Amino acid sequence: MNAQSMQSMVAGFDNEAFGSQAVFRVALQALSHPGQILTMPMDAQLPQSGHGAAALLLLGLLDADTTLWMSESLAQSDAAAWLRFHTGCLCVSDPHEAQFLWLAQGQDQSQTQGHGQGQDPNWPALAQLRHGSDAYPDQSATCVIEVQSLQAGASGWVLQGPGIATQQTLQVQGLAADFLAQWADNHGRFPQGVDVFLTTPTQVVGLPRTTRILNSQEA
Amino acid sequence: MLQSFDKPATAPANPRAEWMALLARAPLPLLEQGLADHTQSTPQWLRRPETGLMMVQGRVGGAGEKFNLGEMTVTRCALRLAAANTSDPALKDTPVGVAYVMGRNHRHAQLAAVADALLQTPAEWPVLEQRLLAPLRAHVQAGQTRRHAQAQTTKVDFLTVAREASGGDEEESS
């Protein structure tokens, strides 16, 4: 870290113990109720770039023994310096080495159409990430993906699987066009596979590898 | 970073590195005295004082293989000097003070970081240089002189022995 990034550094949690516990609670809740939209408690000072909910989630989950890969736009920003300073995590340049990934929302959401709408073109595919092994499925990557909006609506996805009583509906904007295909592949690898959090600036949704996603037309 | 403490560099390359090293070795009374009214201010914490262990590495003679000397207790903190109004845009320009000090004294780490932040402010530097850094330099220097004098009392001159040995070697090799 250089003196420049230190100069614009902001503090982390207002209260480290309570703040990180609240974030951890949200992460647990999100993964045990896939597709449920949760609001992240915002009791911290946040960097300017990146979604607040994503930054807080990583601030709560990372420590000095974890590796993190970030989208190009985030890796150059104050968010990277902020996470490095407060968690001591190791930033890696190869997505396959990372235990946690932070994928930024694309800059030009309005212009891109169809394929990769609103998505950073440099996102690695889920298949490229760490999946763990059959003996240690816990050694897989956790992926935090920033999206444009999250809504509980019937016209989007229908989620099924452990943690969902019958079915859960979710409408997501700002993901890659082939995300559903990638997800079906990821789900098929069980017990291996990556877990995903989708975030907006204030909300979080968990998608553990056990969740099946169907388009509402198919269901 | 490996550093020799008994032989200070002839010209400190980075003045901030020099004053941070001085502040880390400062006794608390000297810090309190030198900072005067700044000791009472409540800083804006970036990282509250936290105590942990650090591995100290050494090299024999400053040039041999690196080895782990042992762990030491270190307290560190980072802060920004308190501004009257937190939404002030000028806040971004107030320097960040950082301190890493030996031991578990949180107050020492805090005051060292306050001093580091103040010393980066051009207006404060001349005052603090005179009131804080000069006494600290004298203190560190006095400590070194005292240790040096103690060590000197045990010094043995091996000059004669060395000469005989080297003379013998020459005869054997010729």
C-alpha neighbours within 13 Å on the C-beta side of residue B34: 31
* B148 falls within a domain: yes
pLDDT of residue A114: 40
- Closest chain A residue to B47 measured between Cα atoms? A11
Statement: the pTM of the whole predicted model exceeds 0.95? no
Shortest Cα–Cα distance, B44 to chain A (Å): 8
Q: How confident is the model at residue A121 (pLDDT cuts 50, 70, 90)?
A: low
* B9 falls within a domain: no
Based on the structure, what is the number of domains in chain B? 1
With an 8 Å Cβ cutoff, is B48 touching chain A? yes
pLDDT above 90 (res A123): no
The interface predicted TM-score of the complex, written ipTM, equals 0.73
Give dist(CA B38, CA B121) in Å, integer.
14
Residues of B in contact with A45 (CB under 8 A): none
Burial per residue of B86-125, b for 16 or more beta-carbon CB atoms within 10 angstroms, e otherwise: eeeeebeebbbbbbbbeeebeebbbbbbbbbbbbbeeebe
Segment B120-157, tens digit of pLDDT:
988 888 889 999 999 999 999 999 999 999 999 998 87
Strands A212-215 and A157-160: antiparallel
pLDDT above 50 (res B54): yes
Give dist(CA A36, CA A111) in Å, integer.
30
Minimum-distance CB partner of B96 among A9, A16, A86: A9
pLDDT above 90 (res B23): yes
Domain that holds residue B118: 15-173
What residues have CB less than 8 Å from B61, skipping those under 6 apart? Answer: none
Contact B44 A16 (CB under 8 A): no
Contact B44 A11 (CB under 8 A): yes
The 8-class DSSP code of residue A201 comes to: S
> Does a cis peptide bond (omega within 30 degrees of 0) precede residue A191?
yes
Q: Which residue has the higher pLDDT, A160 or B7?
A: A160
pLDDT of residue A115: 41
Segment A32-76, tens digit of pLDDT:
999 999 999 998 999 988 999 999 999 999 999 999 999 988 998
CB A119 within 8 A of CB A176: yes
pLDDT of residue B161: 61
Contact A11 B96 (CB under 8 A): no
- The CATH number fitting domain A13-215, selected from 2.40.50.100, 3.40.50.11310, 3.40.50.300, 1.10.3480.10: 3.40.50.11310
CB A19 within 8 A of CB A13: yes
Write out the DSSP string of A22-69.
HHHHHHHHHHHSTT--EEPP--B---SSS-HHHHHHHHHH--TT-EEE
* B2 falls within a domain: no
Instruction: Calculate the alpha carbon distances from A185 to A101, A182, A208, A212 in Å.
Output: 19, 5, 13, 10
Residues of B in contact with A20 (CB under 8 A): none
Segment B60-81, tens digit of pLDDT:
877 888 999 999 999 999 998 8
